[in-house]
Amino acid sequence: RTQTVFGVGDRQAEWFVVGEAPGEQEDKRGEPFVGRAGQLLDSMLRALGLSRETVYIANVLKSRPPGNRDPKPHEVEACLPYLQRQIALVRPKLILCVGRIAAQNLLGTEAALAKLRGQVHVLPPFGIPVIVTYHPAYLLRSPGEKRKAWADLLRAREVLRGHGA
Ligand code: URA
């Protein structure tokens, strides 16, 4: 890694986005989601009337895994306390987890993404609702899934407004 990539955004944000790990661009710039996937994330946020400045964005891993490989369990173990502390300090009203790796590690489950989507999880010990959706890098490869991602985002907004299931 070149540097740690800690997080960006409003420290009093209502929305907290959790991704997997920094990629090459993020490692260079020291900021999460600044590459192509980040541009799509920005558009998704914009469609909800949000921006990088009004939400908080962080990853499970704070350092780029070599060649963007999946995080190793000991890497997750080393980084997760930082994410937990970020969540504790920001105290968002809603957490949006993008992708399987982020969701599984934050929620402590091995369930498939298809199972994790479409329900409202609650993150202990904070009691914060968590919505899981596709990773924007996946949506770049499979644009046909964007409709489902949009449905997830609308559900997240409903939950935040207190009308969600
Ligand atoms: N993918 C992620 O999960 N996080 C980033 O910061 C960039 C790409």
Residue-wise pLDDT for 112-129, tens only, equals: 999 999 999 999 999 999
Atom of ligand 1 nearest to the CA of 19: 3
H helix runs in 91-145, sequence order = 100-107, 113-116, 136-141
DSSP-derived letter for residue 146 is H
Atom of ligand 1 nearest to the CA of 32: 6
How far is the CA of 32 from the CAs of 37, 77, 146, 148, in angstroms?
A: 10, 19, 21, 24
Residue-wise pLDDT for 24-74, tens only, equals: 999 999 999 999 999 999 999 999 999 999 999 999 999 999 999 999 999
Assess whether the C-beta atom of 32 lies below 6 angstroms from ligand 1.
Answer: yes
Indicate if the pLDDT at residue 165 is higher than 60. Answer: no
Q: Percentage of the chain with pLDDT > 70? A: 99
Mean pLDDT of 138-155: 98
Q: What is the pLDDT of residue 54?
A: 98
Q: What is the pLDDT of residue 163?
A: 73
Mean pLDDT of 85-99: 98
Assess whether the C-beta atom of 131 lies below 6 angstroms from ligand 1.
Answer: no
In sequence order, the 6+-apart residues with CB closer than 8 A to the CB of 162 are: none
